[in-house]
Amino acid sequence: MSITRYAGSTLKSAALWAALAFAVLFLVLAAFVLLATALFIYLDNHLGAADAAALTALALLFIAALIFITGSIILRSRRRHTPDIFGEASGTIAMLTSLANILIRRDPKRAILFSLLAGAITEYFTRVE
């Protein structure tokens, strides 16, 4: 599978996951609004409108703070475990350039043949039909 096809399928998959996440988020928010309304109606019957609104707002603020703290902990732990892509790529590029330098110094004719062959292979695999 070529890299362009892989990138295309990855983007399609990411778009589908984003659409699914959006739909689920919308339904969860609707359910949360209904639960908050039910809490307000219940408290209004027992305490009064002003106290019910205040307690409902405090409950929602507590839940929002809990979600924020949990999310920040999760994101901090994920950031620690992500590999450094540029560090690995720069190491690979440095190795390939030193290998090319050695090859060019030893046998320039063979280096030209390898570069022509690499160009032909690259053209063959990136050709769009």
CA distances from 76 to 44, 66, 69, 70, 73 (A): 40, 16, 11, 10, 5
pLDDT at 85: 57
Domain that holds residue 13: 3-82
Domain count, the chain: 2
pLDDT at 80: 66
Mean pLDDT of each 10-residue bin along the chain, 129 residues long: 73 83 86 88 87 84 85 76 61 77 81 81 75
- Indicate if 98 and 37 belong to the same structural domain: no
Predicted structure pTM score? 0.44
Give me the count of residues in the chain. 129
pLDDT of residue 125: 77
Regarding whether 74 and 92 lie in a shared domain, the answer is no
Same domain (yes/no): 74, 92:
no
Judge if 64 and 100 occupy the same domain: no
* Claim to verify: residue 78 and residue 94 sit in the same structural domain: no
pLDDT at 20: 85
Measured CA to CA, the distance from residue 49 to residue 107 in angstroms comes to 88
Residues 55 and 94 in one domain: no
Instruction: Judge whether 64 and 57 are in contact, CB under 8 Å.
Output: no
Q: What pLDDT is stored for residue 23 in this prediction? A: 87
